[in-house]
Amino acid sequence: MSGIDVFAIQRLISDFAWAADRCLAAELSELFLPDGTLTVNELKLHGRAEIEQDCRHRFASPQRKTRHALSNLRIDALGDGAYAGTAVQLTFESSGSDQPVRLRVSDVLDRFEQDPQGRWRFRSRTIERQMALLIPA
């Protein structure tokens, strides 16, 4: 794996957080291969259309605000041009300035592949909550 590929995968991961935090459902879904999957705890979404629809539903509340931060990123070769990634994700979510902030700590398990144009995309992304807490407003 070249340094350029590592940078491109890191950017893909960062773009996911950016799109999620700015309620960009279509842009977020385009980070996946057309038949890619996104699993958030028990919810498994197949393909870009399902991912975009679920994001639009999540982003519907104008009071909702999130910020995502990742750490402990590891990228490992799987062979056949595919790579796996693991990270720890912190998700801060608020439903309004007078509401407590929810903090979720999740393990993120990714599989990356290049699309026909050579761009790195998610084949799959699994976000598994490990712990959560409320931070008073």
Domain spans in the chain, listed from the N-terminal domain onward: 3-135
Model pLDDT, residue 97? 82
Q: How far apart are CA 18 and CA 63, in angstroms?
A: 18
Give the CA count within 13 Å in the CB-facing half-sphere of 67. Answer: 4
- CB burial class (10 A; 0-12, 13-18, 19+) of residue 63? exposed
Phi, psi of 115 (to 5 degrees): -80, 175
Q: Give the model confidence (pLDDT) of 44-85 as tens digits.
A: 999 999 999 999 999 999 999 999 999 999 999 888 888 999
pTM for this predicted structure:
0.93
What's the pLDDT score for residue 2? 72
**Angular region, 79: left φ>0, alpha ψ -120 to 50, beta rest:** left
Q: Which residue has the tokens 């491109």?
A: 8
Specify the CATH number of the domain 3-135.
3.10.450.50
Confidence at residue 1, expressed as pLDDT on a 0 to 100 scale? 66
- At 31, list the tokens: 């980070």
131: left (phi over 0), alpha (psi -120 to 50) or beta: beta
Residue type for position 91: T
